[in-house]
Structure 1
Amino acid sequence: MFERFTDRARDAVKGAQVEARALHHRYIGTEHLLLALLGESGGLAGTVLRDAGVFPEQVRADILAARRDPLGMADAEALRAIGIDLDAVREKVEETFGEGALEASPTLPLRRRGLFRRVPAPAAPSPGHIPFSPRAKKVLELALREALHLKHKHIGTEHILLGLIREGEGLAAMVLTNAGLRLEDLRRHVLDALARAA
Protein backbone atom coordinates (compact mmCIF):
# COMPACT_ATOMS: atom_id res chain seq x y z
CA MET A 1 0.00 0.00 0.00
CA PHE A 2 2.83 2.45 0.80
CA GLU A 3 4.03 2.38 -2.81
CA ARG A 4 1.02 4.57 -3.69
CA PHE A 5 1.90 7.15 -1.02
CA THR A 6 3.37 10.46 -2.14
CA ASP A 7 6.70 11.48 -0.64
CA ARG A 8 4.90 13.88 1.71
CA ALA A 9 2.47 11.18 2.82
CA ARG A 10 5.39 8.81 3.50
CA ASP A 11 7.12 11.59 5.42
CA ALA A 12 3.92 12.08 7.45
CA VAL A 13 3.81 8.38 8.35
CA LYS A 14 7.48 8.51 9.35
CA GLY A 15 6.77 11.76 11.22
CA ALA A 16 4.04 9.98 13.20
CA GLN A 17 6.69 7.57 14.46
CA VAL A 18 8.91 10.51 15.43
CA GLU A 19 5.97 12.13 17.28
CA ALA A 20 5.19 8.89 19.15
CA ARG A 21 8.84 8.60 20.24
CA ALA A 22 8.97 12.26 21.30
CA LEU A 23 5.90 11.74 23.49
CA HIS A 24 7.34 8.44 24.84
CA HIS A 25 4.36 6.46 23.56
CA ARG A 26 4.62 2.75 22.80
CA TYR A 27 2.45 2.88 19.68
CA ILE A 28 1.60 5.14 16.76
CA GLY A 29 -1.97 6.35 17.11
CA THR A 30 -4.29 8.67 15.24
CA GLU A 31 -3.02 11.53 17.38
CA HIS A 32 0.54 11.01 16.12
CA LEU A 33 -0.68 10.99 12.52
CA LEU A 34 -2.47 14.29 13.20
CA LEU A 35 0.69 15.84 14.66
CA ALA A 36 2.71 14.63 11.67
CA LEU A 37 0.19 16.18 9.26
CA LEU A 38 0.72 19.49 11.05
CA GLY A 39 4.49 19.21 10.52
CA GLU A 40 6.60 20.60 7.71
CA SER A 41 5.71 17.79 5.31
CA GLY A 42 1.97 18.09 5.98
CA GLY A 43 1.29 19.40 2.50
CA LEU A 44 -2.34 20.14 1.69
CA ALA A 45 -3.58 18.52 4.91
CA GLY A 46 -1.32 20.72 7.03
CA THR A 47 -2.48 23.84 5.21
CA VAL A 48 -6.16 22.97 5.69
CA LEU A 49 -5.62 22.20 9.38
CA ARG A 50 -3.70 25.42 10.04
CA ASP A 51 -6.33 27.42 8.13
CA ALA A 52 -8.94 25.83 10.43
CA GLY A 53 -6.97 27.05 13.47
CA VAL A 54 -5.32 23.74 14.42
CA PHE A 55 -1.70 24.08 15.52
CA PRO A 56 0.78 21.46 16.73
CA GLU A 57 1.45 23.04 20.13
CA GLN A 58 -2.23 22.93 21.11
CA VAL A 59 -2.72 19.43 19.68
CA ARG A 60 0.29 18.18 21.65
CA ALA A 61 -1.08 19.76 24.84
CA ASP A 62 -4.52 18.23 24.21
CA ILE A 63 -2.98 14.78 23.65
CA LEU A 64 -1.00 14.99 26.87
CA ALA A 65 -4.09 16.17 28.77
CA ALA A 66 -6.19 13.32 27.35
CA ARG A 67 -3.57 10.74 28.31
CA ARG A 68 -3.29 12.18 31.83
CA ASP A 69 -7.04 12.13 32.20
CA PRO A 70 -8.31 9.20 30.07
CA LEU A 71 -11.68 9.14 31.82
CA GLY A 72 -12.66 12.49 30.42
CA MET A 73 -13.26 15.75 32.20
CA ALA A 74 -16.78 14.96 33.44
CA ASP A 75 -15.85 11.55 34.87
CA ALA A 76 -12.69 12.90 36.49
CA GLU A 77 -14.65 15.75 38.06
CA ALA A 78 -17.28 13.33 39.39
CA LEU A 79 -14.57 11.22 41.02
CA ARG A 80 -12.98 14.33 42.56
CA ALA A 81 -16.40 15.32 43.92
CA ILE A 82 -16.54 12.09 45.94
CA GLY A 83 -12.99 12.53 47.21
CA ILE A 84 -10.95 10.44 44.79
CA ASP A 85 -7.74 12.19 43.76
CA LEU A 86 -6.80 10.70 40.38
CA ASP A 87 -3.32 12.21 40.43
CA ALA A 88 -2.62 10.60 43.81
CA VAL A 89 -3.91 7.25 42.53
CA ARG A 90 -1.69 7.49 39.43
CA GLU A 91 1.37 8.43 41.52
CA LYS A 92 0.83 5.49 43.88
CA VAL A 93 0.34 3.00 41.04
CA GLU A 94 3.45 4.24 39.23
CA GLU A 95 5.42 4.21 42.49
CA THR A 96 4.43 0.57 43.02
CA PHE A 97 4.45 -0.79 39.46
CA GLY A 98 6.65 1.63 37.52
CA GLU A 99 6.17 4.61 35.26
CA GLY A 100 3.54 4.10 32.57
CA ALA A 101 1.91 1.18 34.39
CA LEU A 102 -1.56 2.57 33.67
CA GLU A 103 -0.92 2.89 29.94
CA ALA A 104 -2.48 0.05 28.00
CA SER A 105 -0.84 -1.08 24.82
CA PRO A 106 -3.51 -1.01 22.11
CA THR A 107 -1.66 -3.61 20.08
CA LEU A 108 -1.38 -6.34 22.68
CA PRO A 109 -4.47 -8.44 23.31
CA LEU A 110 -5.55 -9.00 26.88
CA ARG A 111 -5.12 -12.65 27.88
CA ARG A 112 -6.57 -14.58 30.73
CA ARG A 113 -4.12 -16.15 33.09
CA GLY A 114 -4.93 -18.88 35.48
CA LEU A 115 -3.45 -21.61 37.59
CA PHE A 116 -3.38 -24.14 34.75
CA ARG A 117 -3.05 -21.73 31.90
CA ARG A 118 0.32 -20.15 31.39
CA VAL A 119 0.61 -17.63 28.61
CA PRO A 120 4.05 -16.37 27.69
CA ALA A 121 4.48 -12.62 27.89
CA PRO A 122 4.24 -10.99 24.46
CA ALA A 123 7.54 -9.92 22.99
CA ALA A 124 8.33 -6.25 23.35
CA PRO A 125 8.60 -4.28 20.12
CA SER A 126 12.12 -3.91 18.83
CA PRO A 127 13.83 -0.65 19.80
CA GLY A 128 13.52 0.69 16.25
CA HIS A 129 9.93 -0.34 15.71
CA ILE A 130 6.82 1.27 17.14
CA PRO A 131 3.62 -0.54 16.11
CA PHE A 132 0.57 1.20 14.72
CA SER A 133 -2.57 1.08 16.83
CA PRO A 134 -5.58 -0.62 15.21
CA ARG A 135 -7.24 2.79 14.74
CA ALA A 136 -4.15 4.24 13.03
CA LYS A 137 -4.04 1.21 10.70
CA LYS A 138 -7.71 1.81 9.94
CA VAL A 139 -6.99 5.47 9.14
CA LEU A 140 -4.35 4.44 6.60
CA GLU A 141 -6.76 1.94 5.06
CA LEU A 142 -9.44 4.64 4.91
CA ALA A 143 -6.91 6.98 3.26
CA LEU A 144 -6.56 4.41 0.48
CA ARG A 145 -10.34 4.14 0.18
CA GLU A 146 -10.68 7.94 0.04
CA ALA A 147 -8.09 8.11 -2.75
CA LEU A 148 -9.92 5.38 -4.70
CA HIS A 149 -13.26 7.11 -4.16
CA LEU A 150 -11.84 10.36 -5.50
CA LYS A 151 -10.27 8.43 -8.42
CA HIS A 152 -6.76 9.53 -7.44
CA LYS A 153 -3.84 7.29 -8.35
CA HIS A 154 -1.83 8.36 -5.30
CA ILE A 155 -2.34 8.71 -1.55
CA GLY A 156 -1.38 12.13 -0.25
CA THR A 157 -1.52 13.85 3.10
CA GLU A 158 -5.01 15.05 2.22
CA HIS A 159 -6.18 11.44 1.96
CA ILE A 160 -4.66 10.63 5.37
CA LEU A 161 -6.56 13.59 6.83
CA LEU A 162 -9.76 12.39 5.14
CA GLY A 163 -9.09 8.96 6.67
CA LEU A 164 -8.70 10.53 10.13
CA ILE A 165 -11.96 12.38 9.67
CA ARG A 166 -13.80 9.33 8.36
CA GLU A 167 -12.53 7.13 11.22
CA GLY A 168 -13.95 9.78 13.53
CA GLU A 169 -13.46 8.10 16.91
CA GLY A 170 -9.75 8.19 17.69
CA LEU A 171 -7.90 10.65 19.86
CA ALA A 172 -7.18 12.79 16.78
CA ALA A 173 -10.90 13.17 16.05
CA MET A 174 -11.54 13.98 19.70
CA VAL A 175 -8.83 16.67 19.69
CA LEU A 176 -10.28 18.21 16.53
CA THR A 177 -13.85 18.25 17.85
CA ASN A 178 -12.72 19.58 21.24
CA ALA A 179 -11.07 22.43 19.32
CA GLY A 180 -14.53 23.37 18.10
CA LEU A 181 -14.29 21.86 14.63
CA ARG A 182 -17.05 19.84 13.00
CA LEU A 183 -15.52 16.89 11.18
CA GLU A 184 -18.02 17.25 8.32
CA ASP A 185 -16.95 20.88 7.81
CA LEU A 186 -13.28 19.93 7.91
CA ARG A 187 -13.92 17.21 5.30
CA ARG A 188 -15.62 19.77 3.06
CA HIS A 189 -12.62 22.12 3.43
CA VAL A 190 -10.25 19.34 2.37
CA LEU A 191 -12.36 18.52 -0.67
CA ASP A 192 -12.61 22.23 -1.57
CA ALA A 193 -8.81 22.58 -1.28
CA LEU A 194 -8.36 19.53 -3.52
CA ALA A 195 -10.73 21.04 -6.10
CA ARG A 196 -8.81 24.35 -6.06
CA ALA A 197 -5.48 22.55 -6.42
CA ALA A 198 -6.68 20.50 -9.43
Structure 2
Amino acid sequence: MMFERFSSDARATVVGAQEVARRRGAASIDTVHLLLALAAQDGPATRALTATGVTAPDLERLGAAAESGDVLDADALAALGIDLDTVRARTDAAFGPGSLDRPGRSGRRGHIPFTKDAKKALELSLREALHEGSRSIDSGHVLLALLRADGTTAHRTLSAALAEAGSDAAGLRSALGAERSSGAEGRAAS
Protein backbone atom coordinates (compact mmCIF):
# COMPACT_ATOMS: atom_id res chain seq x y z
CA MET A 1 0.00 0.00 0.00
CA MET A 2 2.81 2.42 0.83
CA PHE A 3 4.64 1.57 -2.43
CA GLU A 4 1.68 3.00 -4.38
CA ARG A 5 2.56 6.42 -2.96
CA PHE A 6 6.09 6.30 -4.41
CA SER A 7 6.79 8.61 -7.35
CA SER A 8 8.56 7.20 -10.41
CA ASP A 9 12.01 8.32 -9.19
CA ALA A 10 11.44 6.78 -5.74
CA ARG A 11 10.24 3.53 -7.35
CA ALA A 12 13.31 3.52 -9.57
CA THR A 13 15.41 3.90 -6.42
CA VAL A 14 13.81 0.87 -4.79
CA VAL A 15 14.17 -1.25 -7.95
CA GLY A 16 17.72 0.03 -8.43
CA ALA A 17 18.59 -0.96 -4.86
CA GLN A 18 17.87 -4.56 -5.75
CA GLU A 19 20.20 -4.26 -8.76
CA VAL A 20 22.92 -2.71 -6.59
CA ALA A 21 22.56 -5.49 -4.02
CA ARG A 22 22.83 -8.12 -6.77
CA ARG A 23 25.87 -6.42 -8.30
CA ARG A 24 27.57 -6.39 -4.91
CA GLY A 25 26.64 -9.99 -4.17
CA ALA A 26 24.56 -9.09 -1.13
CA ALA A 27 22.03 -11.50 0.36
CA SER A 28 19.68 -8.62 1.25
CA ILE A 29 18.95 -5.03 0.28
CA ASP A 30 20.48 -2.67 2.82
CA THR A 31 20.15 1.08 3.27
CA VAL A 32 23.43 1.71 1.44
CA HIS A 33 21.96 -0.03 -1.61
CA LEU A 34 19.04 2.41 -1.49
CA LEU A 35 21.48 5.32 -1.26
CA LEU A 36 23.61 4.11 -4.18
CA ALA A 37 20.55 3.49 -6.34
CA LEU A 38 19.17 6.91 -5.41
CA ALA A 39 22.43 8.59 -6.44
CA ALA A 40 22.22 6.91 -9.85
CA GLN A 41 18.76 8.40 -10.56
CA ASP A 42 17.97 11.78 -12.06
CA GLY A 43 15.70 13.30 -9.47
CA PRO A 44 15.55 15.97 -6.79
CA ALA A 45 17.65 13.93 -4.37
CA THR A 46 20.48 13.41 -6.85
CA ARG A 47 20.48 17.08 -7.81
CA ALA A 48 20.62 18.06 -4.11
CA LEU A 49 23.54 15.68 -3.54
CA THR A 50 25.34 17.19 -6.52
CA ALA A 51 24.68 20.70 -5.20
CA THR A 52 26.46 19.77 -1.95
CA GLY A 53 29.42 18.31 -3.85
CA VAL A 54 28.53 14.64 -3.32
CA THR A 55 28.77 12.43 -6.40
CA ALA A 56 27.67 8.88 -7.15
CA PRO A 57 31.33 7.70 -7.39
CA ASP A 58 32.01 9.20 -3.93
CA LEU A 59 29.08 7.27 -2.52
CA GLU A 60 30.13 4.05 -4.31
CA ARG A 61 33.62 4.28 -2.82
CA LEU A 62 32.48 5.17 0.68
CA GLY A 63 29.55 2.77 0.51
CA ALA A 64 31.82 -0.16 -0.29
CA ALA A 65 33.85 0.59 2.82
CA ALA A 66 30.75 0.97 5.02
CA GLU A 67 29.13 -2.15 3.62
CA SER A 68 32.22 -4.32 4.05
CA GLY A 69 32.82 -3.02 7.54
CA ASP A 70 36.18 -1.68 6.36
CA VAL A 71 37.35 0.13 9.44
CA LEU A 72 40.83 0.86 8.14
CA ASP A 73 41.56 4.46 8.93
CA ALA A 74 43.85 5.82 6.22
CA ASP A 75 45.00 8.71 8.44
CA ALA A 76 45.84 6.41 11.35
CA LEU A 77 47.72 4.05 9.04
CA ALA A 78 49.58 6.99 7.49
CA ALA A 79 50.76 7.99 10.97
CA LEU A 80 52.38 4.55 11.10
CA GLY A 81 53.98 5.05 7.67
CA ILE A 82 51.45 2.92 5.79
CA ASP A 83 49.75 4.40 2.72
CA LEU A 84 46.44 2.54 2.37
CA ASP A 85 45.96 3.65 -1.25
CA THR A 86 49.39 2.31 -2.17
CA VAL A 87 48.67 -1.01 -0.44
CA ARG A 88 45.36 -1.32 -2.30
CA ALA A 89 46.92 -0.37 -5.65
CA ARG A 90 49.75 -2.90 -5.27
CA THR A 91 47.36 -5.63 -4.16
CA ASP A 92 45.04 -4.90 -7.10
CA ALA A 93 48.03 -5.00 -9.49
CA ALA A 94 49.23 -8.33 -8.11
CA PHE A 95 45.91 -10.11 -7.55
CA GLY A 96 43.33 -8.23 -9.64
CA PRO A 97 41.02 -5.28 -9.06
CA GLY A 98 39.08 -5.36 -5.81
CA SER A 99 41.08 -8.23 -4.35
CA LEU A 100 40.99 -6.65 -0.88
CA ASP A 101 37.25 -6.16 -1.07
CA ARG A 102 34.84 -8.57 0.53
CA PRO A 103 34.04 -11.33 -1.94
CA GLY A 104 30.45 -11.31 -3.10
CA ARG A 105 28.12 -14.13 -3.85
CA SER A 106 27.32 -14.11 -7.53
CA GLY A 107 24.42 -15.53 -9.42
CA ARG A 108 21.72 -14.65 -6.88
CA ARG A 109 18.35 -14.68 -8.59
CA GLY A 110 14.80 -13.95 -7.57
CA HIS A 111 13.60 -11.76 -4.76
CA ILE A 112 16.18 -10.22 -2.47
CA PRO A 113 14.69 -9.26 0.91
CA PHE A 114 15.11 -5.87 2.53
CA THR A 115 16.99 -5.61 5.79
CA LYS A 116 15.16 -4.32 8.84
CA ASP A 117 17.07 -1.01 8.50
CA ALA A 118 16.09 -0.64 4.82
CA LYS A 119 12.42 -1.28 5.63
CA LYS A 120 12.62 1.30 8.43
CA ALA A 121 14.20 3.83 6.04
CA LEU A 122 11.35 3.36 3.58
CA GLU A 123 8.86 3.88 6.41
CA LEU A 124 10.76 7.03 7.39
CA SER A 125 10.42 8.28 3.80
CA LEU A 126 6.64 8.12 4.24
CA ARG A 127 6.95 10.14 7.44
CA GLU A 128 9.10 12.72 5.63
CA ALA A 129 6.46 13.03 2.90
CA LEU A 130 3.66 13.39 5.44
CA HIS A 131 5.68 15.98 7.37
CA GLU A 132 5.96 18.06 4.18
CA GLY A 133 2.29 17.58 3.39
CA SER A 134 3.09 15.66 0.23
CA ARG A 135 0.70 13.04 -1.13
CA SER A 136 3.50 11.08 -2.76
CA ILE A 137 6.96 9.92 -1.73
CA ASP A 138 9.76 11.07 -4.01
CA SER A 139 13.50 10.44 -4.01
CA GLY A 140 14.01 13.50 -1.83
CA HIS A 141 11.91 11.91 0.91
CA VAL A 142 13.95 8.71 0.62
CA LEU A 143 17.15 10.77 0.90
CA LEU A 144 15.88 12.57 4.00
CA ALA A 145 14.92 9.22 5.52
CA LEU A 146 18.42 7.84 4.89
CA LEU A 147 19.87 11.00 6.43
CA ARG A 148 17.74 10.39 9.56
CA ALA A 149 18.53 6.66 9.76
CA ASP A 150 21.33 6.92 12.35
CA GLY A 151 23.64 3.95 12.65
CA THR A 152 22.90 2.52 9.20
CA THR A 153 25.40 1.95 6.40
CA ALA A 154 23.66 4.62 4.33
CA HIS A 155 23.83 7.17 7.14
CA ARG A 156 27.54 6.52 7.69
CA THR A 157 28.23 6.67 3.96
CA LEU A 158 26.21 9.82 3.44
CA SER A 159 27.74 11.56 6.47
CA ALA A 160 31.26 10.69 5.30
CA ALA A 161 30.55 11.89 1.75
CA LEU A 162 29.07 15.17 3.00
CA ALA A 163 32.05 15.74 5.30
CA GLU A 164 34.48 15.03 2.43
CA ALA A 165 32.59 17.52 0.27
CA GLY A 166 32.76 20.16 3.02
CA SER A 167 29.05 19.99 3.75
CA ASP A 168 26.75 18.43 6.34
CA ALA A 169 23.17 17.29 6.90
CA ALA A 170 21.91 20.87 7.17
CA GLY A 171 23.57 21.74 3.88
CA LEU A 172 21.96 18.76 2.19
CA ARG A 173 18.54 19.62 3.61
CA SER A 174 18.98 23.19 2.35
CA ALA A 175 20.03 22.00 -1.12
CA LEU A 176 17.03 19.68 -1.27
CA GLY A 177 14.73 22.53 -0.23
CA ALA A 178 16.20 24.74 -2.95
CA GLU A 179 15.78 21.92 -5.47
CA ARG A 180 12.14 21.47 -4.47
CA SER A 181 11.52 25.25 -4.73
CA SER A 182 13.08 25.48 -8.18
CA GLY A 183 11.08 22.44 -9.29
CA ALA A 184 7.85 23.97 -8.01
CA GLU A 185 8.65 27.25 -9.77
CA GLY A 186 9.34 25.38 -13.00
CA ARG A 187 5.98 23.56 -12.77
CA ALA A 188 4.14 26.84 -12.00
CA ALA A 189 5.72 28.54 -15.03
CA SER A 190 4.54 25.76 -17.39
Which residue of structure 2 lines up, in the alignment, with residue 18 of structure 1?
19
Q: 2:142 aligns with which of 160, 182, 197?
A: 160
What per-residue deviation string (whole Å, max 9, x for no partner) do you get for residues 30-79 of structure 1?
A: 1111111111x3411011112222222221122222344444539x96xx
2:7 counterpart residue number: 6
- 2:174 counterpart residue number: 188
Instruction: Summarize the alignment of residues 143-182 of structure 1 with structure 2, pairs less than 5 Å apart.
Output: 143-179=125-161, 180=163, 181-182=167-168
RMSD of equivalent CA atoms = 2.6
TM-score scaled by length of structure 1: 0.69
TM-score, length-scaled by structure 2: 0.71
Structure-2 residue corresponding to 1:46: 46
- 1:182 Cα offset (Å): 1.4
Q: Which moved more, 1:142-151 or 1:171-180?
A: 171-180
Listed as ranges, the matches of 1:1-198 within 5 Å are 1-39=2-40, 41-71=41-71, 73=73, 127-179=109-161, 180=163, 181-198=167-184
* Secondary structure, counterpart of 1:128 in structure 2: coil
Higher relative contact order (CA 8 A, sep 6+): 2
Aligned mates of 1:29, 1:174 — CA distance in 2: 13
List per-residue Cα deviations over 1:99-129 (Å, max 9, x = no partner): 669xxxxxxxxxxxxxxxxxxxxxxxx8311
CA shift, 1:169, in A, is: 2.5
Take 1:137 and 1:68, find their aligned partners in 2: how far apart are those partners?
20
Q: Distance in 1 between matches of 2:182 and 2:104?
A: 45
- Report deviation, 1:196: 2.7
Give % identity: 39
Change (3 A) 1:72 1:142: farther
Shift of the 138–19 alpha-carbon distance from structure 1 to 2, 3 Å rule, reads same
Cα contact 1:36–1:42 (8 A) shared by 2: no
**CA–CA separation in structure 2 for the residues paired with 1:68 and 1:142:** 25
Unaligned runs of 5+ in 2: 81-102, 185-190
Higher helix fraction (1 or 2): 2
Does the CA-based 8 Å contact 1:35-1:56 persist in structure 2? yes
Moved more, 170-179 or 20-29: 170-179
Q: Which has the larger radius of gyration?
A: 1
